[in-house]
Chain A
Amino acid sequence: MKRDTDSVAALGPADEAELIQRCRADQRSAHDELYHRFRRQVAGNLYRVLGDRTDLEDLVQEVFVIAFRGLDKFRGDARLSTWLYRICVNVALGRIRTRRRRPTAIGVNDLDGAAADPSLTERPETPEKSLERQRERERVYQALEQLAPKKRMVLYLHEIEGLDLKEIAYLVDSNPVTVRTRLFYARREFYRVLAGEGASGGDE
């Protein structure tokens, strides 16, 4: 689940544990290191889940504030990157719920600035191809916007991120059975919207 790391060497489990210990000891340098190592990953997670960059800096800060406050409760049963992703999911869910209450805040149009993995765009795209890709991306995020927040999240994590039920359950703080049920309905709604048939709605 790890991407978007800054250009610093990846941490092994032992180094990660040491960094967490230093953070718990309230060492400022450790907090800085954790932030600099994972900020791009956190920003990427939030950006992909939400589909736009509105308030992205603020949301990244929110994730790290929650992470620093919660480090004492981090049991080390997941990699730090996964644990941070879990916080991202929680923060993103809060943002999605707020946007649903204030629909005018929805924005997917700034996705054209999205940077894709270079390996997927090795050949220069024609303007037509680039425009079509951008439109497809907007269609996908607009369909996601039609889903209730929890359904949207499991759908995104499964269909786009390719995570399995157990991984998703950890990230959304649920269990695989609930995730499977939610995904069952979410997929039907999502692809119905994508196919142009509209959604049945629903709040959660």
Chain B
Amino acid sequence: MRQPTSRHVAPHRWADAFAGKLSETELAAMERHADGCNACAKARKRVQRASQSFPVLKAQSAPELGW
């Protein structure tokens, strides 16, 4: 069984991961760490939720104004 890496994952690295910018090796190391680290698992979940909301935010139209 592979041991989790000891270094915490910087939150922006999760954003990189969800954007598909990391290699499989990098991602696997981060996932191994998060599997054994509650703080990083929580950060991963929060960053993932936010990242998933970005397309919705980008698609927001202006509210109706009194033109």
State the CA gap A194–B52 with chains docked (Å).
Answer: 13
Does the CB pair A194–B11 fall under 8 Å?
yes
Given contacts A188-B12, A192-B11, contact A116 B56 (CB under 8 A): yes
Residues 29-74 of A at the B interface (beta carbon under 8 Å) = 39-40, 43-44, 46-48, 53, 56-57, 60
State the CA gap A16–B66 with chains docked (Å).
Answer: 26
Q: How many residues of A contact B (CB 8 A)?
A: 40
Binary contact track B1-31/A, C-beta < 8 Å → 1, others 0: 0000000001110110000000000000000
Q: How many residues of B contact A (CB 8 A)?
A: 26
Across chains A and B, which 8 residue pairs bring their CB atoms closest together, nearest first?
A117-B59, A43-B62, A195-B43, A191-B11, A195-B11, A44-B62, A191-B12, A115-B61
Q: Give chain A's interface residues, CB within 8 Å of chain B.
A: 3-4, 39-40, 43-44, 46-48, 53, 56-57, 60, 110, 113-117, 119-120, 133, 136-137, 139-140, 143, 159-162, 187-188, 190-192, 194-197
